[in-house]
Amino acid sequence: MESNYNASSLMLPNLFSNVSYHPKFADKDIQMWEGKTLSELSWRVFCGDALEVLKALPKESFNCVVTSPPYFWLRDYKVEGQIGWEDSVEEYVNALVQIMDEIYRVLLPDGTLFLNIGDTYYSGKGESQGVDKKSPKRRFGLRAVDKGGGLGLKLRPKTAIGIPWRVAIEMSQQKWILRSSIIWNRQFSLPESVKDRPRRTYENIFMFTKGRKYFFNREPLERDGEEDIWNIPARTEPNGLDTAPFPDLLVQRCLEIGCPENGSVLDPFVGSGTTMRVALNAGHSAVGIDLNQTFCQYIVKRLAEERL
Ligand SMILES: C[S@@+](CC[C@H](N)C(=O)[O-])C[C@H]1O[C@@H](n2cnc3c(N)ncnc32)[C@H](O)[C@@H]1O
């Protein structure tokens, strides 16, 4: 199923009077839209490559980052330069770690990062084995890479690659402090169709900090009676976009525990804009980055029209 949201028919870049549009942010090939909510919270949407945009942002400007990058070999976002289709696990991990390095730079010293990431099974056939094998959103069979090659790691077919921990370990060996490995129990998600192993029902959310002292509010965890296993329904409202959105509740909890009042929130892989919407609703300013024009324009249109 193609995305049924057609950006070109919906808006010109500067269609909305309450939004300003900058076609060449920082003299680069980066489009930027900015506006304010009715309660004067500012937001910005950048359309461009996350690494390039992050490099153009000032250091130490965000309290909290909540994000979910493209998973390895799982979904085609149909944009040149997208992350997720590297030939080896090492290249994928390096691409993410490079972006996380820039996140580290733009995060305030007492800031927090919540990274939601899922695993991929290695099939050995140049295909991934995901939650829903029949989903046409996945790009099965289009690549004939690495047939039987073990993804540069000598993996045997049917192996769970362990992507989330490979990324987390690499990040914590460089500069980050890994403070918590949270299990998101994806309640009511569509079950995998596999019959020869337990079906996956969870993903990881890693909480990283820059320093030993950082903003943290335990109260919401105590209120909800949950610590590092979060039971949150996986289904989200359909929005016509194939972004694999995470649920509002997940972002809400990350912000409640990891972002001070009137904070500034960033999502470098913002997709349909879940993080921005939840952050603005909670009284924070919000910045989102995505490579996909259609997704960026969808967010801008929603923010401009709803004004929250
Ligand atoms: C898992 S989705 C994020 C979904 C989002 N959390 C939501 O709720 O809609 C990952 C996003 O990363 C974007 N993306 C892929 N490669 C990128 C890159 N190099 N720079 C910026 N965004 C990228 C994709 O277009 C996609 O929207």
- Ligand 1 pocket: which of 290, 295, 297, 299 to mutate (most atoms within 8 A of CB): 290
pLDDT under 50 in the chain at which residues?
A: 1-4, 7-10, 12, 129-145, 147
Atom 8, ligand 1: which residue's CA is nearest? 245
Note the pLDDT of residue 241.
Answer: 86
Note the pLDDT of residue 277.
Answer: 96
Task: Find the 104 Cα to ligand 1 centroid distance in Å.
Answer: 19
* Ligand 1 contact, 269 CB (< 6 A): yes
Note the pLDDT of residue 144.
Answer: 35
Note the pLDDT of residue 270.
Answer: 98
- CA–CA separation, 121 and 142 (whole Å): 17
Note the pLDDT of residue 126.
Answer: 58
Q: Kindly give the residue spans of alpha helices, DSSP state H, lying in the chain.
A: 7-10, 50-55, 89-106, 163-174, 219-224, 248-258, 274-281, 293-306
Cβ(272)–Cβ(245) below 8 Å? yes
Note the pLDDT of residue 138.
Answer: 42
Nearest to 66 by CA among 233, 258, 241, 229: 258
